Amino acid sequence: MIFKNFRLIFTDRIEVGSLQVKDGKIISINGPFIEDNEEIDGEGKYLSPGFVDIHIHGAGGKDTMDGEVESIDTIARVIAAHGTTAFLPTTMTMEVADIRKALSSIREAAKNHSGATILGVHLEGPFISPRAIGAQNPGFVLEPSIAAYESIADGYEELITSITMAPEVPGASELIPYLKEKGVKVSIGHTAATYEEAVEGIGLGCSHSTHLYNAMTPLTHRSPGAVGAIFDTDITTETISDGIHISWPSLRIAYRQKTSDRVMLVTDAMMACGMPDGKYWLGGQEVLTKEGAARLLNGSLAGSILTMDAAVRNVSRNTDLPLYEVVKMASLNGARFCGAEDRKGKLAEGYDADLLVFDEDIVISQVFIEGKKFI
């Protein structure tokens, strides 16, 4: 299959060109091409690498914590239609048995997916601070320990890519280095840490931070907090760029401070993503969606109903970043976080043919996952 007459979005530029796909891989960019009877004329549209979402709980009325293969498959198909070609299903702070059931369903779903590719799992909790609970369920928060982690991860170690935890809670200083040694990315989140406590956690092995600004101590002029520690170090971070979780000026400040190399666009979407407004559930708690926001009954934001194409569109419209940098934050950076940067996240020979076709308004018309047309 040859994609011709497209504006190709690379990590550092956009240029007019063509590429060829064979057996699910990009085999040539701008030739030479082998004989191929199948051609797609882009007519000047963009051809982008597929998006990688490292933080998503659900979509299409289904949730990762359903513990059902069918739920994971539904999520994978719904988000693929919005440009997400690979993702990390994300769990919630719930009973250990429920988390393990979710892990089992994710592993089974990964074997034969019909939508976005599963690259691993993000555990959001249960080792978080009750003082920064957000939409997590305080009844299931656990004190971090190696034994508590192993009670969740036993038998699923190869699946777990990352975990969100509060670095200041008792036991975290022992668990963080253990997880780093195991190759698990430890992300600062749902935390009441001071600047000093957050920096100490980074020194122990925290390398990322979950939904920047949200459910963490803010930056002020005398108390820099967790946000200040994120800005003052080289760890990566992620943003929910829906205009609800973070104001546009605050997003612009974050992107200038961290640069597009150290930020990932994520959705933190829950089951209401792609569904009409109404009543839904997240982590066993009732959620109401209205006017683009998902909230608990107490008014706290409960994930989002954002999609990755909307996130790219929002950032492109509300910052001065060039489109190729915005796409990098939605694709290559997430692939690198998942250890898949050698095969996903950019247009390059030898890479998986996860491809998106979209117009100037970032309205997606075609999606290809490993060379197979999805829409």
Q: Is 135 annotated as a binding residue?
A: yes
How far apart CA 212 and CA 246 sit, in angstroms, is 9
Q: Do both 121 and 200 map to the same domain?
A: yes
Please check whether residues 36 and 62 belong to one and the same domain: no
- If asked whether residues 114 and 8 sit together in one domain, one would say no
Dihedral sign (CA 345, 347, 348, 352): positive
| Residue 211 among known ligand-binding residues | yes
The reply, when asked if residue 221 is annotated as ligand binding, is no
- For residues 279 and 365, state if they share a domain: no
Full pLDDT tens readout for the chain, 375 residues: 999 999 999 999 999 999 999 999 999 999 999 999 999 999 999 999 999 999 999 999 999 999 999 999 999 999 999 999 999 999 999 999 999 999 999 999 999 878 999 999 999 999 999 999 999 999 999 999 999 999 999 999 999 999 999 999 999 999 999 999 999 999 999 999 999 999 999 999 999 999 999 999 999 999 999 999 999 999 999 999 999 999 999 999 999 999 999 999 999 999 999 999 999 999 989 999 999 999 999 999 999 999 999 999 999 999 999 999 999 999 999 999 999 999 999 999 999 999 999 999 999 999 999 999 999
Identify the domain containing residue 73 by its residue range.
50-341
Tell me whether residue 352 is in a domain: no
Residues 280 and 143 in one domain: yes
Domain co-membership, 261 together with 154: yes
Same domain, 39 and 56: no
Q: How many CB atoms lie within 10 A of CB 344?
A: 24
Q: Is 39 annotated as a binding residue?
A: no
Query: Is residue 124 annotated as involved in ligand binding?
Result: yes
pLDDT of residue 35: 94
Same domain? For 25 and 142 the reply is no
CA 81 and chain centroid, separation = 16
**Residue 236 sits in the same domain as residue 334:** yes
53, 268, 309, 354: the active-site residue? 268
Question: Catalytic annotation on 268?
Answer: yes
143 appears as a binding residue in the annotation:
no
Spell out the residues 6+ positions from residue 71 whose beta carbon is closer than 8 angstroms to its own. Answer: 58, 62, 63, 64, 105
pTM of the model: 0.98
Residue 208 marked ligand-binding: no
* 320/28 Cα distance (integer angstroms): 32
Task: List helix spans (H) across the chain.
Answer: 69-80, 96-111, 146-153, 172-181, 195-204, 225-231, 248-258, 308-318, 323-330, 332-337
Contact between 85 and 353 under an 8 Å Cβ cutoff? The reply is: no
Same domain, 22 and 102: no
CATH number at residue 22: 2.30.40.10
Residue with tokens 């509060």: 166
304 found inside a domain: yes
Per the domain annotation, does 351 fall within a domain?
Answer: no
Q: How many domains does the chain have?
A: 2
The three-state secondary structure class of 287 is strand
In a domain, 31, yes or no: yes
User: Does 348 fall in a domain?
Assistant: no
Q: Which CATH number do you get for residue 58?
A: 3.20.20.140
Phi/psi of residue 354, nearest 5 degrees: -95, 105
**Residue at 349 is within a domain:** no
Residue 134 resides in a domain: yes
Examine the domain organization and report whether 199 and 222 are in the same domain. yes
Shared domain for 218 and 206, answered yes or no, is yes
pLDDT of residue 207: 98
- Confirm whether 32 is domain-assigned: yes
Length of the chain: 375
